[in-house]
Chain A
Amino acid sequence: SAVISQKPSRDICQRGTSLTIQCQVDSQVTMMFWYRQQPGQSLTLIATANQGSEATYESGFVIDKFPISRPNLTFSTLTVSNMSPEDSSIYLCSGKDRGRQETQYFGPGTRLLVL
């Protein structure tokens, strides 16, 4: 199975600032995703990170607020821009294993608190 790491693991930020979250996978994955998990809730897909091109965003999420990069097969970043307290969530990176494409593995998450 793919091993996925994220940095930072948690952060406390001031409103109006931006935070970039990094996701590193230890092996090649076919697809990478970014999810948001608001307090006490389930996971919501933000976008699919596409290698070398613009991410594909889900309804309700826009590139200006959540710019995403994926420069190669094993690395992606998510930026939460111009943060407000409503952005306080856990942000999780995930990837589909190249060998078992039906299976999605998740990173440990980044816990963000915006004051």
Chain B
Amino acid sequence: AQSVTQLGSHVSVSEGALVLLRCNYSSSVPPYLFWYVQYPNQGLQLLLKYTSAATLVKGINGFEAEFKKSETSFHLTKPSAHMSDAAEYFCAVSLNAGNMLTFGGGTRLMVKP
């Protein structure tokens, strides 16, 4: 069984500041890990994924995430927040390619001018 915990349901940053969204997972085997973004009134868009290759994964829109097995974490970062980054972000895990996704509770990112 797998589970995902996202620390902080709401995160607020100033434009230009570092974005850090936290995700911790629980899995009995090395997992696949994903970050999705949901803009207002839209579906989910894949930001990036970890599939047991490089531990530092780069995604779209300047986001990246680092898989840390010792900490069971997959935190999402972006060096400089932009107003257009305001959205809901979901971390998700699956045990293997054929397994279904389990989602975290989501983190709403707010960017202040």
Contacts and interface: CB of A to CB of B under 8 A. Distances in A.
Given A43-B90, A103-B49, A108 B43 contact: yes
B48 to A, nearest CB: 11
B47 to A, nearest CB: 12
Contact of A106 (B43, B97, B100): B43
Contacts of B98: 31, 96, 101
Contacts of B44: 43, 92, 94, 106
Contacts of B97: 96, 101-102
Nearest to B50: A102
A111 B42 CA distance: 10
Contacts of A94: 44
Contact of B106 (A1, A42, A104): A42
A96 B100 CA distance: 9
Interface of A, helix, strand, loop or mixed by DSSP: strand
Contacts of B73: none
Interface residues of A, number: 23
A42 B90 contact: yes
B106 to A, nearest CB: 5
B100 A107 contact: no
Interface in A54-99: 92, 94, 96
Given A92-B43, A103-B46, A106-B44, A33 B90 contact: no
Contacts of A96: 97-98
A104 B101 contact: yes
